[in-house]
Amino acid sequence: MANYYIGADVDSKMTELAIEKKEKIIQRYRVPTTIPALREVLGSIPGTKFLTFEEGPMAGWMYRNLKDNVDDLIVCDPRRNKLIACDGDKDDSIDAGKLAGLLRGGYLRAVHQSEDMGRVVLKQWVSLYHDKVHEAVRQINKIRARCRMYGVRIPRRALRNQVVRGQWMAELKQKDLAEQLAVLWIGFDAAAKQARMAKKQLIHHSKDYEIVRYWSEVPGIALIRATTMLAYLDTPWRFSSEKKLWKYCGVGLQRTASGTDRYGKPNRGKLQLAWAVNRRLKDVVTGAAMSAINQKYNIFAYEYERMIGDFMVCLGLHSVFGKPFSGFDPLQKDESLDAKRGADIMQRICC
């Protein structure tokens, strides 16, 4: 039975498909980006079918709806494909053909897609909550910057208490500033309200996961960070080692080395933090570690104090960042044990 390698360049309206067989493009399709249209094309192809497309806003939706129509489906990392994709002429049809060739050669890096719709919805609410919090922070920073232009400082209570804010606005001597702030407060209040609504849904959807309760008891993590970790990790078993999990969370080290010294020996490698990481998880892990250190009287703070006592500040921080994942066993693949393993990890950290 012949093998067919299918590369898809996905757009919100149309999708370009290139079908490769025996290292040659034998057919191209241009179809609407709808599940029925894509299934019709895939169903018309005989033999063993391998499909790939790049990670993007529509990738999860397409993965969950098309994975049963092919023998293997890879949602690939576009950063790894960039150099090849930008070589020579470029359009959607050419890109689809290049993806098919990379798929055949095994040069694609798969991007994890959750098959649990409940976790997909949870991640959407977590993402929406963080986006709205950032928007509210951006709005309040604009308000503070506007006040600084007039040498005015906003009372802390005016941010949340509408009565205090109204009294403060009425007492402002700068009429131009008051009129500008009246416009800016609308944006801040809207973003803050949306953040509260998203947080309520986030809490509601996180109640179904026992691991969130376990993680929330770890010093420095609490509910929002625990839910964010679950939403973006989905399952730790998708990582082949603990080090790869650390790197994905932005706290793992990678080694770089090049050239030789004057004696002809290879230069020693330099350790540095990985840059291609999940920024949201990095914020969660580093924020939790710093919160735990500042809280004191917990194993994270003790570990940090021990290492800075030995003049190892950077290593101390890195040790604390990675400690929540100590006890992770990549060989244990049973995802039903997520909550149990979470409890074991917590006990290793806190006991």
Domain assignments of the chain as residue spans, ordered by start = 3-105, 117-206, 210-350
Q: Looking at residues 91-97, what average pLDDT do you find?
A: 87
What's residue 322's pLDDT? Answer: 56
In which band, very low, low, confident or very high, does the pLDDT at 79 lie, cut at 50, 70 and 90? confident
154-158, 224-228, 266-270, 334-338: which range is least confident on average? 334-338
Q: Looking at residues 209-219, what average pLDDT do you find?
A: 88
Is the per-residue pLDDT at 24 higher than 50? yes
* Complete DSSP assignment for 298-320: SHHHHHHHHHHHTT-HHHHHHHH
Whole-number average pLDDT of the chain:
84
Q: Looking at residues 199-218, what average pLDDT do you find?
A: 91
Higher pLDDT, 214 or 53: 53
Question: How far is residue 229's CA from residue 206's CA, in Å, rounded to a whole number?
Answer: 11
In which band, very low, low, confident or very high, does the pLDDT at 350 lie, cut at 50, 70 and 90? very low
**Given 3.30.420.40, 3.40.50.970, 1.20.1050.10, 3.30.1240.10, which CATH number is that of 3-105?**
3.30.420.40
Q: Looking at residues 28-36, what average pLDDT do you find?
A: 94
Helix residue ranges per DSSP H, the chain:
35-43, 59-66, 78-85, 92-105, 117-148, 162-171, 175-206, 210-216, 222-233, 242-248, 279-295, 299-309, 313-322, 338-350
Are the beta carbons of 107 and 77 closer than 8 angstroms? no
Q: Which helix (H) or strand (E) holds 112?
A: none
What's residue 351's pLDDT? Answer: 34
Dihedral pair phi/psi, residue 112, rounded to 5°: -65, 135
Question: How far is residue 133's CA from residue 101's CA, in Å, rounded to a whole number?
Answer: 42
What's residue 345's pLDDT? Answer: 42
List of long-range contacts for 212-218, beta carbons under 8 Å, 24+ apart:
214/339, 214/342, 214/343, 214/346, 215/342, 215/346, 217/346, 217/350, 218/288, 218/292, 218/324, 218/346, 218/349, 218/350
In which band, very low, low, confident or very high, does the pLDDT at 163 lie, cut at 50, 70 and 90? very high
In which band, very low, low, confident or very high, does the pLDDT at 217 lie, cut at 50, 70 and 90? confident
Distances 53 to 31, 64, 99, 111 between C-alpha atoms, Å: 15, 13, 7, 10
Q: Looking at residues 165-194, what average pLDDT do you find?
A: 93
Neighbours of 234 (CB within 10 A): 20
Q: Please report how many Cα atoms fall inside a 13 Å half-sphere around the Cα of residue 6, on the Cβ side.
A: 32
Q: What is the CA radius of gyration of the chain?
A: 26
What's residue 320's pLDDT? Answer: 53
Q: Name the percent of the chain lying above pLDDT 70.
A: 87
Higher pLDDT, 112 or 331: 112
In which band, very low, low, confident or very high, does the pLDDT at 336 lie, cut at 50, 70 and 90? very low
Higher pLDDT, 63 or 261: 63
Highest mean pLDDT among 106-115, 193-202, 256-265, 335-344: 193-202
178-182, 295-299, 306-310: which range is least confident on average? 306-310
What's residue 107's pLDDT? Answer: 87
What's residue 319's pLDDT? Answer: 55
